Amino acid sequence: MTYHIIGKLLQGRYKIIQSLGAGVFGQTYIAVDVDYPENPKCVVKQIKVSSSESGYLEMLRLLFQTETQTLKLLGSHHQIPEFIACFEENDQFYLVQEWIEGYALARELPIAQQWGCLWSEREVVEFLIDVLDILEFVHSHGVIHCDIKPENLIRRNSDFKLALIDFGSIQSIDFGIGAELPIYRIPVTSLGYIPPEQFIGETQPNSDIYALGMIAIQALTGLEPLQLKADPYTNEIVWRSENTPVNDYLAAVLSQMIRYDYQNRFQSASEVLRVLKQIIWEQPIEILETDEQFFIEAAIEDDNLTSGNSSPLLTGMKVGLAANSLVMGFGVYSLINAAPAYSETETLSKATQEYQAGDLEEAIALAKSIPSHSNVYPEAQATIEEWQEQWQVAAQQYQIAQTAFNESKWSDVIHAVAKSPNISYWQSKTDKLVQQAYVNIEAQTQDLLAKAYESADTKDFSAALQYLRQIPKESRAGALVQDKLAEYNRKRQIRAAYFLQKAYKQALVGDFDLAIKFLRNIPNDTLVYAQAQVKLNEYTQKQRLLTDYQKVASAKIKNSFVSKKSVTQIEYLQGGSYLQEVNIR
């Protein structure tokens, strides 16, 4: 990787300050524009050049010009980074785009059903509509993104809207990829979101829809795509279980988005948008008296009128929704006519709301007001005890998180908050701590990565490994860190073996001083360290004998009347453990 570019000034204007990572198509950096007084940040992408041949460069130059025109067009959308500039310098191609201040959607998603809250159905639908609006724009301009994943959806700090970034893998709808996509070239963070057809060079516009559907399922279930199993007979992803209470309508939409065969999926973002908006706009709020069959037929007829050419899936889902809404409507009717104006259940519900809002005393007072003869009374008493325990734990964990935050122990902040009970009041207090902790972890990660890269450039792989091991596990660079740990450890082992061989060679010619220096450069946790220590002791003893012998020989020469032609030669006998004096006259 070309980390030496850090600090370099491109085009006399864009100063590279940080590496964002590498992908299949090149390296991405953060830069500052020195032409402006406030030095605004921007993103610089260095396109990968794998050959210096003129024919290859000319082809790449043409593709580069085509892509930049596309990026200019896409950048006009308010949720896509604005295109700033493109240029060629020293046979390298660079793109400059707007830097989106924010954080990746990955931070909001639940992880392995252990970290983060599962999303509600409404949150999932709103998310889908938001991103589908962007994809509808992208696809309408003949472009497929090809790498929809949580890391490429940025929650913008300015307005909390999602922005779609990293169009480095975009493909023309008209021409497609035209080649297979080897799995070893795919970033780890993309695996699971890429649909089957993309691996064999048959990328479609609805390949982006598949990836988006997988993100939505992760939000609902807490399971990452690679944790989901596929039906061995149909190859369809099995994601819905008893632990995933989701509306049949929404479940059908999501399953249709991730169908194994792209021909059986929704064919466009517009089609998915139309179906999703039915969930929001066409659910009846209250139905008191109606004929069930009439309602269902009316719903289907309404769909035919609004959609023009309704799909069987949409009709089927609308029927299901209409029937469910009808049941809900009769439930409301029953409640209005039979339920009392006020009940102990409502009291406990109100108490729960107060508890979640942060008023523990009011919540307990309301719960205690429920009379002992009520059926709700045992539940209320148990709830009071549970609230008191959870409140105490939440307060303690908040204090621990606050202390850790003040001491810049960012990982401890996240761990403390993860142990806190699910109370809205305390979550609102810890959310800011967690968000800032993640921001600081990423800044710390980039600093440690830079130091690791610098150490590796000087072949000091032990120091590089120490820096990498300091990177918190919560960092988004986890996959990169693991790769670098393996790479630098392998290089350190190779370097240690090299030092051992150099020591052997120096010892063979009697240069024990240099041999010992090589041996002392071998780290203590390498495979050859034990062998090196044995040789270190051996060579140290031989060096001591050699030094003593030289002193004795020097004294003899001074005190004897030997011929001027006498020469004392010290020879190290291979395979032996002693020194021999050879006089040559």
371: left (phi over 0), alpha (psi -120 to 50) or beta: beta
Residues in the chain: 585
Place of tokens 């989901």: 228
Nearest alpha carbon to residue 97 among 127, 76, 119: 76
In eight-state DSSP terms, residue 27 is E
Using DSSP's 3-state secondary structure scheme, residue 430 falls into helix
Catalytic residue among 91, 130, 133, 147: 147
Which pair of structure tokens corresponds to residue 260?
């194994």
564 appears as a binding residue in the annotation: no
State the Cα–Cα distance between residues 398 and 165, nearest whole angstrom.
34
Q: Which residues pair with 156 in a beta bridge?
A: 102
CA distance linking residue 121 with residue 119, whole number of Å: 7
Told to judge if 147 belongs to the known catalytic residues of this protein, a careful annotator would answer yes
Side chain identity at residue 320, one-letter code: G
Instruction: Name every residue whose Cβ is closer than 8 Å to that of residue 433 and which is 6 or more positions away in sequence.
Output: 401, 402, 405, 413, 417
Among the residues of 4-142, which ranges form H helices? 54-74, 121-140
Number of Cβ atoms within 10 Å of the Cβ of 122: 11
- DSSP per residue over 84-104, as a string? EEEEEETTEEEEEEE---EEE
Alpha-carbon torsion angle 324, 330, 336, 338, nearest 10: -120
Q: Which residues are annotated as a binding site for ATP?
A: 45
Q: Which residues are annotated as a binding site?
A: 45
Residues taking part in catalysis: 147
